[in-house]
């Protein structure tokens, strides 16, 4: 029983870390293209993707780059044009201040998830090492 709970929690944390990493790449691409004429900023719906993952009830792999080979049973997150972006005269919709704020927020989310996963793995390591001694 505890095994299943631990596996599920680890899978949820891993999915969150993978989605945060993908979001970090998208935000970085948006920032890098802040002065590219015609560039449309992109994003993923982190919360929506996590809800979808939790509702599926199965552990599935995630392809983090479109050029990676497809994995069996994978559910690729949807990347879409950012909502509510304003077009500038050069038809670029990147708001650099907004992107930097999202970058900081995503960094905090990512580091929090990684720290929580490290704690979970630390507890497992402790249980393995000390579990046999009373």
Strands 79-81 vs 42-44: parallel, antiparallel or unpaired: antiparallel
CA separation for the pair 52, 88 (Å, rounded): 34
- Per domain, the residue ranges of the chain are 2-130
If we measure between CA atoms, which residue out of 4, 1, 2, 17 comes closest to residue 115? 17
Q: Are 91 and 33 in contact (CB under 8 A)?
A: no
C-alpha span between 47 and 32 (Å, rounded): 24
| Full pLDDT tens readout for the chain, 134 residues | 556 777 888 899 999 999 999 999 999 999 999 999 889 999 999 999 999 988 876 555 555 566 666 555 556 788 888 876 666 676 788 889 999 999 999 999 999 999 999 999 898 888 888 876 65
Q: What is the DSSP letter of 86?
A: P
């Amino acid at each position: 029983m505890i095994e299943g709970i631990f596996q599920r929690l680890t899978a949820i944390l891993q999915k969150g870390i993978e989605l945060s990493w993908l979001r970090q790449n998208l935000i970085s691409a948006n920032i890098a293209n802040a002065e590219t004429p015609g560039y449309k900023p992109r994003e993923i719906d982190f919360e929506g993707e996590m809800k979808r993952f939790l509702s599926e009830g199965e552990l599935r792999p995630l392809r983090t780059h479109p050029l990676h080979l497809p994995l069996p049973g994978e559910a690729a997150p949807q990347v879409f044009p950012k909502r509510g972006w304003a077009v500038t005269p050069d038809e670029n919709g990147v708001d650099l201040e907004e992107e930097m704020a999202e970058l900081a927020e995503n960094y905090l989310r990512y580091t929090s998830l990684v720290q929580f996963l490290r704690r979970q793995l630390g507890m497992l390591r402790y249980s393995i090492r000390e579990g046999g001694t009373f």
